[in-house]
């Protein structure tokens, strides 16, 4: 996956885990997250990457 691309469904994953709220929907049913929700999604993504790095480094050391 290229830099800056998110896997499809990641915001929904964070919503199910309770890390971010479900965004409002347009009349056509499209998700319309506000800037705060977008920022929370990005923070959750960065946290997940850090956790992955920590896990991979720990397994390399063992």
* Section 22-36 average pLDDT: 85
pLDDT digit string (tens) for 46-59?
888 888 888 877 76
pLDDT digit string (tens) for 6-28?
555 677 787 888 877 888 888 99
Report the pLDDT value the prediction gives residue 61, as an integer from 0 to 100: 65
* Section 25-51 average pLDDT: 84
Report the pLDDT value the prediction gives residue 1, as an integer from 0 to 100: 44
What does the domain layout of the chain look like in residue ranges?
10-61
What DSSP letter does each residue of 14-59 carry, written as one string?
HHHTTSSPPPEE-TTS-EE--HHHHHHHHHHHHHHHHHHHHHHHHH
């Amino acid at each position: 996956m290229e830099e800056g691309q998110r896997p499809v469904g990641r915001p929904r994953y964070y919503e199910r885990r309770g890390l971010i709220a479900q965004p409002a929907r347009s009349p056509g049913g499209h998700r319309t997250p506000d800037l705060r929700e977008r920022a929370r999604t990005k923070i959750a993504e960065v946290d997940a990457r850090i956790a992955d790095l920590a896990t991979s480094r720990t397994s390399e050391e063992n």
